[in-house]
Amino acid sequence: MLDLTGKTVAVLGAGRSGRAAARLAEHCGARVTIYDSREAEEAVLAGPTTGLGVNVDLVVVSPGIETQGEFVQSFAKGSGALWGEIELAWRCYSGKTIGITGTNGKTTTTELVRDLVEATGKSCVACGNYGVPLSEVVLYNSPPEVISLELSSFQLETIVDFKPDVVIWLNFSPDHMDRYHSIEEYREAKLRIFDNIEDETPVVVRAGSKVPERGSRITFSADGEADWTLSGDDILCCGEAFVAISGTKLRGLHNAENLMAACAAVEGLTCEVARDALSKYSPPEHRCELVAIIDGVEYLNDSKATNLHALESALRSQIRPTVLIAGGKQKGLDYQPLAPLLAGKAKAMITFGEIGEELYSVFSTTVPCRKVETLEEAVAAAAAEASRGDTILFSPGTSSFDQFNGYEERGRAFKAAVPRLTKTL
C-alpha cells in the first residue's frame, strides 16, 4: 500500500470517485481535504480546510473536472504532484490490471473481460469508468486478483506512472469535443495508456489502428487480416474456430470485435471455457441488446444511440438484412450523411416521434420508408416489413425527450412493444 503518512492531500471533486480517493488517501496516512468546484468541504475526513490555491503535497483530481481549468490549476501551482484517481488507486493495487480504452465498446468489453477472467478461476472486478471507482476496489477486504479497468480519456489525462499489465485499444473516433480543443488533443489523451508499458506487455489492438509500436501486439478485426478474425458466425484465433457469435447474446460486427479483444486479453482462456462463459453473458441494457428472436427475426434494442455517430456504428455493424427504427427529439442534426450507409445496409426504415417527418423526407427516396407517431406503432410496422433472417434494429439516432424521460425508459418501451415472444433470451 502506498505510504502517504504525514502528507497533505487535496482531492478535487466531491462525487463518488473523489470521495473514494479521499478515503483511500486517508487510509494511506495522509491528511485529506475534499474540495468541490462549488465549495470546499472536509466531508467525512479529518484535516483542516486550508483554502483554495494553497500548497499541498499531492492534488488528486476527479475525472469529471477539466485538468487545465482554473480550479485545478489553482491547486496544482506550487503543489508537489497532480494525480488522477486512477493513478492514486493503481499505486495501491498489487494485482493484475487489464486496461481498456477506445471511443466505443469499452463497457461491453470491460464486462466480457471480467466474466472471462472469472471463468478461468481468478477473481476479477470491472471498475474505473464503469461500475465502481478503482479506489473503492482497492479498499475491499479482499481485493480481486485482476481488475478489468475501463479508462476514459479524462482518466488517462492524469496518469503518471500507471502501467497496465495488458492493454486493450478498441477503436477511435471523434468525441468529447466540448472538453477538447481538437480531435488530436482527444486522441493524445487516449494514447497515454501506452506511455509506460514494457516490451513484453500484451497490447490487444484493432488491426490498422495508428497507435505507438509498443508492447507485444495482438491484433483483431472483423473485416480484415489479424490474429483474431471473423468467418461467418465464427470468431477465429490464428485461423482456428474459438467461439460462435450465435452462441452468445451479442450481435453485430462491433460486438464481434469486442469479443475478440476480450478473449485475446485473458491469459489461460480456452475455447471451451470461453464458450460456456459467453453463453451466460448478457450485454449492457440498451446497447444493441438482443431482446428476442421471433420467427427467425432478431429484435435489437439500441436505445442508447442518442446521436448520429452511434446510429451509424450500430447500422454498420449489422450482418443481416435490417429494418431500422429511428426517431425521437428534434436536435437540429444533419442526417443526410447517413443515406449511403442506409442504402447499403437497410431493407426498410420506420421513423417516429418529433423528428419522424424530417427523417421520412430525407430518406424516403433512399429506402422504403414509413412514418408513424409512436414507438409501439413503429415496432408493429417494422415487424410487418421483416422476414425470417432479418434484424429489426431500434437505434433512434437522437435523444428521447420528445416522448420519454430518457433512453432507458425509451428502451424499456421498445422491449415492452415487441410482440409476444416465441423464443425469449
Q: pLDDT band at 178, cuts 50/70/90?
A: low
Q: Which amino acid is at 171?
A: N
Average pLDDT over all residues of the chain: 91
* pLDDT score, position 308: 84
Residue 45 has pLDDT above 90, yes or no: no
pLDDT at position 131 is 86
Please, are residues 152 and 101 in contact by the beta-carbon 8 Å criterion?
A: yes
Residue 44: which pLDDT band, with cuts at 50, 70 and 90?
very low
User: Is the model's pLDDT at 53 over the cut of 70?
Assistant: no
From residue 57, how far is each of 75, 134, 161, 337, 356 by CA, in Å? 10, 22, 17, 51, 56
Query: What sign does the dihedral 130-182-221-208 (CA atoms) show?
Result: negative
Q: What 8-state DSSP symbol labels residue 7?
A: -
How many CA atoms within 13 Å lie on the side-chain side of 118?
18
Q: Which of 379, 380, 365, 320 is nearest to 345 (CA)?
A: 320
- Alpha-carbon distance of 191 to 187, in angstroms, equals 6
pLDDT at 42 over 50: no
Q: How confident is the model at residue 423 (pLDDT cuts 50, 70, 90)?
A: very low
Are the beta carbons of 229 and 221 closer than 8 angstroms?
yes
CB atoms within 10 A of CB 95: 16
| Out of 317-321, 328-332, 417-421, least confident range | 417-421
The whole-angstrom distance between residue 302's C-alpha and the CA centroid of its chain comes to: 14
127 pLDDT exceeds 80?
Answer: yes
Residue at 27: amino acid letter: H
Per the document, the length of the chain is: 425
- Structural element, H or E, at residue 48: none
pLDDT tens-digit profile of 351-400? 999 999 999 999 999 999 999 999 999 999 999 999 999 999 999 999 99
Cα separation of the two ends of the chain: 44
Question: Could you tell me the pLDDT band of residue 209, with boundaries at 50, 70 and 90?
Answer: very high
Residue 175 per-residue DSSP state: -
| DSSP letter (8 states) at residue 283 | P
Whose grid coordinates read 486512477? 86
Burial class (CB in 10 A: 0-12, 13-18, 19+), 34: buried
pLDDT for residue 52: 52
90 contacts: CB under 8 Å, gap ≥ 6: 97, 134, 162
pLDDT tens digits, 9-18: 999 999 999 9
Is 10:51 a contact under the CB 8 Å cutoff? no
> Residue 63 has what pLDDT?
85
